[in-house]
Amino acid sequence: MKRHKLLNVPSIRRLPSYLQVVKGAAEEGREYISGTYIAQELELEAIQVRKDLALTGIMGKPRLGYPVQELIHAIERFLRWDIDQFACLVGAGNLGQALLGYQELKRHKLHIAAAFDVDPSKIGKMVHGTRIHSLSEFAAVKEQEGFEMAILTVPPEVAQEVAEIIVDHGIKGIWNFTNVKLKLPSHVVVQQEDLSSGYAVLSLKMAKFAR
Amino acid sequence: MKRHKLLNVPSIRRLPSYLQVVKGAAEEGREYISGTYIAQELELEAIQVRKDLALTGIMGKPRLGYPVQELIHAIERFLRWDIDQFACLVGAGNLGQALLGYQELKRHKLHIAAAFDVDPSKIGKMVHGTRIHSLSEFAAVKEQEGFEMAILTVPPEVAQEVAEIIVDHGIKGIWNFTNVKLKLPSHVVVQQEDLSSGYAVLSLKMAKFAR
User: What contacts B193, CB < 8 A, 6 or more positions away?
Assistant: A195, A198, B175, B176, B177
Rounded mean pLDDT of chain A? 92
**Of the residues A44, A78, A112, which one is the last residue of a structural domain?**
A78
- Cβ count near A84 (within 10 Å): 8
In terms of domains, do A74 and A91 share one?
Answer: no
A183 Cβ under 8 Å from any chain B Cβ = no
pLDDT (tens, 9 = 90+) of chain B, 211 residues, equals 444 456 788 899 899 999 999 999 999 999 999 999 999 988 889 999 999 999 999 988 988 999 999 999 999 999 999 999 999 999 999 899 989 988 888 889 999 999 999 999 999 999 999 999 999 999 999 999 999 999 999 999 999 999 999 999 999 999 999 988 899 999 999 998 988 889 999 999 998 887 6
In terms of domains, do B92 and B31 share one?
Answer: no
In terms of domains, do A152 and A186 share one?
Answer: yes
Element (H, E) at A144: helix A138-145
CATH of the domain at A99: 3.40.50.720
**Of the residues A78, A100, A126, which one is the last residue of a structural domain?**
A78
Q: Into how many domains does chain B fold?
A: 2
**Is A172 contained in some domain?**
yes
Secondary structure (3-state) at A188: coil
Element (H, E) at B197: helix B196-209
Residues in chain A closer than 8 A to B179 (CB atoms)? 20, 104
pLDDT recorded at residue B92: 96
**Of the residues B36, B60, B78, which one is the last residue of a structural domain?**
B78
**Is B65 contained in some domain?**
yes
Residues of chain A above pLDDT 90, percent: 78
In terms of domains, do A72 and A93 share one?
Answer: no
Say yes or no to pLDDT of A2 above 70.
no
In terms of domains, do B18 and B121 share one?
Answer: no
**pLDDT, tens digit, for every residue of A169-198?**
999 999 999 988 899 999 999 999 988 889
pLDDT recorded at residue B5: 52
The rounded distance, in Å, linking the Cα atoms of B70 and B107 is: 18
The rounded distance, in Å, linking the Cα atoms of A73 and A171 is: 29
In terms of domains, do A126 and A186 share one?
Answer: yes
**Is A93 contained in some domain?**
yes
List the binding residues of A.
91-96
In terms of domains, do A70 and A114 share one?
Answer: no
Residues 70-109 of B with CB under 8 A from A: 79-81, 85, 94-95, 97-99, 101-102, 104-105, 108
pLDDT recorded at residue B1: 41
DSSP track, B48-109: HHHHHHHTTT--PBTTTBEEHHHHHHHHHHHTTTTS-EEEEEE--SHHHHHHHT-HHHHHTT
The residue segments making up the domain with residue A114 are 85-196
Element (H, E) at A31: none
- Greatest distance between any 2 Cα atoms in chain B: 62
CATH of the domain at A54: 1.10.10.10
